Amino acid sequence: MANGKVDALLGIVFGDEGKGKVVDYFTPRYDIVARFAGGPNAGHTIIFEGKKFVLRSIPSGIFDEGKINIIGNGCVIAPDLFMKEAHELEDAGYTITDRLHISRRAHLILPTHRVLDRAYEAAKGKNKVGTTGKGIGPTYSDKAARVGLRVGDILENFEEKYLKLKARHEQILRDLHYTDYDITEEEKTWLEGVEYMRKFHLTDTEIEINKALAEGKSVLAEGAQGSLLDIDHGTYPFVSSSSTTAGGVCTGLGIAPNKIDRVWGIFKAYSTRVGSGPFPVELFDETGAEIRRIGHEFGAVTGRDRRCGWVDLVALRYAIMINGVTDLVMMKGDVLDGFDTIKACVAYEKDGVVTTDMPYDTEGWNAVYEELPGWKTPLSDLRKEEDFPQTFKDYIAYLEEKAGCRISIVSVSPDREATIIR
């Protein structure tokens, strides 16, 4: 039997591109859907048959009852939030305990990691990252410092290990003079979450995935966050703490690079960013507010306003390069329906220097735009490419040419059905 392949669906900008929707749409084509990075900082929205779900740690393939979903070793998991998320699915009638497998190597987010997240942010003053407050940075820090707790740890001497790491965190918090917190209630629910997690298959998911591949099965790796939030390739230090790019698929699931076939790079027809950090295309005017309003650009996790701007081709080309994107997926074209003209950032400029390559430090660069006509036609009911207005087809062709990559899928509304393959 031929070896199966892994395809990856990666957010290639600042997250919230619509990964949840597309993974859910793709799931029938695959045997396994696996998250390889991040944790409950993610918020992946899936809408079908009039129902809406926002997933944080659970992969977006969970609605297809026949499919195995995996939370890989590259992820971090908060037992209390995981339990809440799983209960929501169970309440909606989905049975998940047999189909959701969790890597024993994934790291646990402790309540004190979340306090540390707040403490570190407070200490940063004006330079806050604007994290989601889910303890992501401190958990990955402990992983790198080789003191973290893994999912497998809940199976043996857990209490002792937990208390030891908690004490370490409490000492750091005292050193930071950050003592005004109370995790009593939170800790109770967290420990219930740990118990609840025992019901699931806590396994060596890298072995499971590689065995499945050897049997000819196919895997869809679901990205979280976006390439510009990657710990190595993003706008450091305004990034998340995991490897969100194609390399993270290998380390975060334990699969070899030569197993990866297609890399789907997902982006919106415009740009958004939540949290702080450089964002050269940001619009501070009425147009930015209009995109936010029409696109409902408010964080799925924190409810914060998403910063909005035109599409950024410097960022797209960079992300296509570092991820080896084979196909682009463009979301939310419908949000731009009403604009007379649409802009695309083709370069950055600072002090007379113009670059089309992503600079080391994106701070202080201004966007250089090209302007295109708007299509002024509602797109959200269209289901066939032939029905697209010519001006929208021209926008797609323009982006493909400038990005140097084919746009194979176009989405024109949140619904599962509004996904057009080209």
Contacts with ligand GDP, residue ranges (CB under 6 A): 11, 15-21, 42-45, 47, 296, 300, 331-332, 334-335, 411-414
- Give yes or no for a contact between 213 and 205, defined as CB atoms under 8 angstroms apart: no
* The one catalytic residue among 7, 16, 80, 334: 16
Binding of ligand IMO at residue 245 (CB under 6 A)?
A: no
Burial state string for 187-202 with b = 16 or more CB within 10 A and e = fewer than 16: bebbbebbebbeebeb
Q: Nearer Cβ to ligand IMO, position 130 or 374?
A: 130
Position with the least CB separation from ligand IMO: 275
Binding of ligand IMO at residue 129 (CB under 6 A)?
A: yes
Q: Nearer Cβ to ligand GDP, position 87 or 296?
A: 296
Considering the complex, what minimum distance in angstroms separates the CB of residue 389 from ligand IMO?
A: 29
Footprint of ligand IMO on 41-80 (CB under 6 A): 41-44
Q: How far apart are CA 26 and CA 44, in angstroms?
A: 14
The residues that touch Mg ion, with contacts defined as CB under 5 A, are: 16, 43, 300
Q: Nearer Cβ to ligand GDP, position 55 or 68?
A: 55
- Give yes or no for a contact between 325 and 405, defined as CB atoms under 8 angstroms apart: yes
Binding of ligand IMO at residue 131 (CB under 6 A)?
A: yes
Considering the complex, what minimum distance in angstroms separates the CB of residue 23 from Mg ion?
A: 12
Which span (39-47, 199-207, 211-219, 284-292) binds ligand IMO, by CB under 6 A? 39-47
Please, which residues have CB within 8 angstroms of residue 193's CB and are 6 or more apart in sequence?
A: 78, 79, 80, 81, 82, 83
Can you list the pairs that 194-199 forms with residues at least 24 positions away whose Cβ atoms lie under 8 Å? 194/79, 194/154, 194/158, 196/79, 196/82, 196/83, 196/86, 197/77, 197/79, 197/82, 197/83, 197/102, 197/151, 197/154, 198/154, 198/155, 199/97
Considering the complex, what minimum distance in angstroms separates the CB of residue 299 from ligand IMO?
A: 7
Q: Nearer Cβ to ligand GDP, position 90 or 417?
A: 417
Q: Nearer Cβ to ligand IMO, position 226 or 333?
A: 226
Q: Where are the beta strands (DSSP E) in 256-386?
A: 260-268, 270-273, 307-312, 327-331, 341-350, 353-355, 366-373
Query: Binding pattern to ligand IMO, positions 11-30, x when CB under 6 A?
Result: x--xxx--------------
- Paired tokens of 349: 């400029």
Residues in the chain: 422
Annotation marks residue 101 as catalytic: no
- Give yes or no for a contact between 57 and 89, defined as CB atoms under 8 angstroms apart: no
Annotation marks residue 201 as catalytic: no
Residue 134 binding result from Mg ion, ligand GDP, ligand IMO, none, given CB thresholds of 5 to 8 Å by partner type: ligand IMO
* The one catalytic residue among 24, 31, 44, 117: 44
Positions marked catalytic: 16, 44
**Contact set with ligand IMO (CB under 6 A):** 11, 14-16, 41-44, 129-132, 134, 136-137, 224-226, 229, 240-241, 274-275
